[in-house]
Chains A and B, each alone.
Chain A
Amino acid sequence: MRPFGYAAPATVDQAVGLLEAEGSEALAGGTDLLSLLKDDVERVDRLVALRGVPGLSGLELDGGMLRVGAMTTLQELRDHDGAIAALPALAVAIDGVASPQLRAMGTVGGDLLQRPRCWYYRRGFGLLALAADGRSMVADGDNRYHAIFPEGEARFVNPSSLAPLLVALGAEAVIHGPAGERRLPVEALYRAPQAAGERENTLAPGELLVGVEANVEGSRSAVYEVRQRRALDWPLMAAAVSLAGSGPRTERARIVLGHAGPVPHVATAAGDVLSGQELTPETVAAAADATVEGARPMSGNRYKVQLARTAVRRALARAAGMEF
């Protein structure tokens, strides 16, 4: 690693002040950032250590509202019986990070804001991986794990384990910055960069994700991940669903894909298919088909379209307590 400075703020305000300076990066669990620094993919002048900042870790369940600090580790969240009982899908999403060491080190904020796994990005070719002649190295190259819903030249996939579920639940991200606090839907944390040097998140310099809040009551939710191996890897495809409504009919359904596009893919049309419907094998299949409508797979990842369909079907079945 190249040399860098290190500051350990004692408050969120101090952290924000330090992060405003160019070349400063927040250090949470470090499991992603240190690898990027070792590989010289990212460079920093100073790391701002969040580990000792009081108030950034911990969680509470208040009524149906789950509030989780950004520095809460994945294992701490997994071990919170109340949170898991209220939202069993959370256990599936966290267990997908299939390494006790990563769960012990990795944080909720770090999971949400980890950098893409795209191997062109990880080899230093940038998030858009454009060759000197402007052609996409991803489209021309090995894109087996890349987006089936690319946005412009952004063909990497959002790697977060928690984001699809949080987006399906309509969770909010709480952000502190130089101008104070702002809140936004978790999906608005992300964007598809379109120019070299742009990031895949919407945080401004000095802004810090301090936590997330989700209403975990009044809906049934589920996560289904399709994996190549059970340990130590990101899924090939993930679907998260949230169903609202009492009785057999679904009033509102939210269906979100992870690992499908540069941002968590909200399949609005697929949710609409289920609106006012009972969940049956037929309606579930129709929603799964609607999820992948408009998908634009590349040369090597057509299989992910079928994985997405299957993941949605199984997540819906899981949420509804149906066999699949």
Chain B
Amino acid sequence: MTDDAKRSGLSRRSFLRSGAAGALSGGLAAGLLTGDAAGAAAATDAESPDTVGPGPVEIELEVNGATRRLAVEPRVTLLDGLRDRLDVTGPKRVCDRGTCGACTVLEDGRPIYACSRLMIESAGRSITTVEGLGSPDAMHDVQQAFVENDAQQCGYCTPGFVVATAALLARHPAPSEREIEAGLGGNLCRCGTYKGIRAVVEGAGGGGVSGG
């Protein structure tokens, strides 16, 4: 299996099918999901997909490098699934409406609001939370820089800001002021630690922090 096929959700659909019908249909699923002409042609002849749920559906996804398999109802958000089912509590539930950024995680490297993604939609994909960037003993450069620049007060927004900052620096290793504002515009801090956070990011240009 190519990485791309894996990423695009082969395992996701296979497991959705196995959950619903009790049978894997790997070859068909591979064709459906690669998006190539052969796959599209095969798909046209396929039956309409099963509707799964509203009860639990078995899915598989990668969280911070480890493959996790669990059964979730379709209505469970990625955020609630991570926190309540997988005990990954770095992403925080604050507004739960895609407005504050405290739940920010990386999905296949892209920053998303975990509160606004159904966990079933992340099946077959790779999720990185603040825990996956580094640990207290081996902090990611961004985490280290947050400590050094005193870029947190109550700390509730911090995990989301750390992940969003890592995503920003991955795209723009030495961001301009405008790129910093645009890159972190999806996160709010009610304590007002923006000055410290800006210092974290501006440190990137001078060495120190990198998007890693």
Contacts and interface: CB of A to CB of B under 8 A. Distances in A.
Interface of A: 1-11, 13-14, 17-18, 27, 29-31, 34-35, 37-38, 46-47, 49, 51-52, 54-55, 75, 95, 98-102, 104-105, 230-232
B164 A101 contact: yes
Main secondary structure of the interface of B (DSSP, over half): mixed
B209 interface: no
A34 B101 CA distance: 15
Contacts of A98: 182, 185-186
- The 7 tightest CB contacts between A and B, nearest first, are A99-B186, A3-B54, A54-B35, A6-B74, A231-B185, A10-B32, A10-B43
Given A4-B53, A6-B52, A31 B185 contact: no
17 contacts: A1-B75, A5-B52, A8-B13, A8-B16, A8-B49, A10-B43, A30-B116, A31-B98, A35-B98, A49-B120, A99-B185, A100-B185, A101-B112, A101-B113, A102-B98, A230-B185, A231-B185
Given A7-B52, A34-B98, A52-B12, 14 more contacts: A3-B73, A3-B74, A5-B52, A6-B51, A11-B46, A27-B121, A30-B117, A35-B116, A37-B75, A49-B120, A98-B185, A100-B182, A101-B104, A104-B112
A52 B13 contact: yes
Interface string B123-157: 00000000000000000000000000000000000
B2 interface: no
B5 interface: no
Contacts, number: 140
Given A231-B181, A232-B99, A31 B53 contact: no
Interface residues of B, number: 53
A94 to B, nearest CB: 11
A5 B75 CA distance: 8
Interface in B179-205: 181-186, 188
Nearest to A8: B49
Contacts of A102: 98, 113, 186
B97 interface: yes
A100 B163 CA distance: 12
Contacts of A29: 116
B96 to A, nearest CB: 7
B39 interface: yes
B51 A46 contact: yes
Which of the listed residues A29, A38, A52 has the most CB atoms from chain B within 10 Å of its own CB? A52
Interface string B1-42: 000000011001100100000000000000011111001100
